[in-house]
Structure formats: structure tokens, C-alpha cells
Amino acid sequence: MSYERFAYLYDQLMQDVPYDQWVTIVEEYRKKFQIDGNKLLDLACGTGELSVRFAQKGFDVTGADLSTDMLSVAKVKADGLSLPILFFEQDMTRLDDLGEFDIIGIFCDSLNYLENEEAVKQTFEGVYRLLKKGGLFLFDVHSVYKMDHIFADATFTWDDDEITYIWNSFSGEAPHSVEHELTFFVLDESSGKYDRIDELHFQRTYPEETYKQLIEQTGFKRIEISGDFSMNAPEPSAERIFYAMIKP
């Protein structure tokens, strides 16, 4: 999947996303699992919104993402705030040796963009390899409920003076998957006309039992599952599921 021009629209479209809640839940799990170190890898960091927030909280942050364009936005953002964040272009299913980390996170349902279980398993194995002994791995995904009952065959729209979009979601061929057809109309201030940008995104999730099995196969222990930033067990209608675990 290529983000290209979408990367430069992303922050404007995501301005209402509760990023600070991700920071809070990382801090809460860090305290619960008694993680002393502060070296954090933000996988699939996108435009660096979370990377910046973690750095401002005192974490030693490294960001990695598959998109060159997203990373360009992230670097400008970090440099503008004089934050010493290292960014690397990386496929999270084939991670290079980026060093060892006390905490590794895959946030904002980024894991849902992987196409199959094997890709998820490869990502878990790469994370396990880069995580220090006793380190914390934390990720969140869309729930099966959200994929099947909220996203499937739904249409979402947004309209303001600068950007209008139409977001059509269709059930995918794989179980608990969706295809997002996104059409943006973006104002070109120099001409007063709107440019059209089309994007196709794929997301897939799995039942909690499947994620737990893949996690256990990788070797992680002390697995905790919570829903919707609550630190409590997910309700049946929870839309976002968090998984926290330790490398023994």
C-alpha cells in the first residue's frame, strides 16, 4: 500500500484522534509490568504523532515505518520540536537490527494492515528479537465486532473548506476484513480548484484467540488483553483491543 500524497493529508484528517490515550496506556502498562528502561520503538509510526508525544514524555524514541512520505513528515515534525528521534524506513514483517528496546509498540491499529496470519507472526518474531529480556510489547487492533458490524458495507464522509472525502468500506474476501475506498477532494489554493486523490486500503483482524495463539507461539508471556483504552477485559462491543505482554 502506498500513502504518497495521503501522507501529507493524514494529520489534518486525524486531528481528532486521541493520541494522548495511547501514551497513557503505555505508561500504565509500563508501571504495571515494572519496566524501568525508557528506550521505545514506535513501529508503523506514520507521521510521528505518537513518537513525538513519547519523546516529550521522556522516552528515548526510535520510529520506523514503511512509507518514505510518512517518515518525511515525521522527521520535519520532530526536528521542528528539537526532539532527537531516529526514524527508519522499515517493513515491520522484516525488521532489521535496530538495536534493543525496553518497549516496542504497534499502535493505531497498524497491525491490521498486514494481509495474513503469517505476516503477523513474522512481525511478532521480529519484535521478540529486538526486545530486551523483560521488555514490554504492546499493540492494538480493531476488534472483530468493529470489522464486521461497523466498517463492513458502511460509508463515511467529511466535508470542510479544504478537504472533502468519501470513505466507502466493503467486506473483504478474508474473514473479518474490509477494503476501504477513499476519495479525497483537496483544495489547491493557487488555483482555487480541488484535486482528486483516490486510495484503496485493506485491513484485516482476527479473534482474540488467534492473536493469543500467535503471541504464545512467539514466546511472549504474561499476556494481558484489554478493550478501548480501559485496562479492563474487552466488552463484546469493544472496538479496539489492546494486547500487552513480556519477553521472558
Opening angle at CA 196, ends 182 and 149, nearest 5: 10
Length of the chain equals: 248
Structural domain including 217 reads 4-142+207-246
How confident is the model at residue 199, as a pLDDT? Answer: 82
My answer on whether 135 and 225 are in the same domain is yes
Give yes or no: residues 115 and 72 share one domain: yes
Same domain assignment for residues 107 and 194: no
- Residue 184: the pLDDT is 82
- Which distant-in-sequence residues (6+ apart) come within 8 Å of 166 by Cβ? 155, 156, 157, 182, 183
Same domain as 121, residue 12 = yes
Task: Give me the CATH number covering residue 178.
Answer: 2.20.25.110
State how many domains the chain has: 2
Same domain, 156 and 216: no
The whole-number pLDDT of residue 2 equals 41
Sequential pLDDT tens for the chain (248 residues): 344 455 666 666 677 789 999 999 999 999 999 999 999 999 999 999 999 999 999 999 999 999 998 999 999 999 999 999 999 999 999 999 999 999 999 999 999 999 999 999 999 999 999 999 999 999 999 999 999 999 998 998 878 888 888 989 999 999 999 999 988 888 888 888 888 888 888 999 999 999 999 999 999 999 999 999 999 999 999 999 999 999 99
Can you give the CATH number for the domain in which 99 is found?
Answer: 3.40.50.150
pTM, rounded to two decimals = 0.91
Are the C-beta atoms of 182 and 167 separated by less than 8 Å? yes
Asked if 57 and 103 sit in the same domain, the reply is yes
What pLDDT does residue 16 have? 79
Together in a domain, 92 and 194: no
Kindly state whether residues 38 and 155 are assigned to the same domain. Answer: no
pLDDT at 4: 46
Residues 93 and 158 reside in one and the same domain: no
φ, ψ for residue 204 (rounded to 5)?
A: -145, 140
According to DSSP, the residues that pair with 104 across neighbouring strands are 41, 137
Residues 84, 33 share a domain: yes
Instruction: Please name the residue ranges forming H helices in 19-132.
Output: 19-32, 49-56, 68-80, 117-130
Output the CA torsion 4→93→89→111 (10° steps): 50
pLDDT on residue 11: 66
113 with 198, same domain?
Answer: no
Note whether 193 and 213 are same-domain residues: no
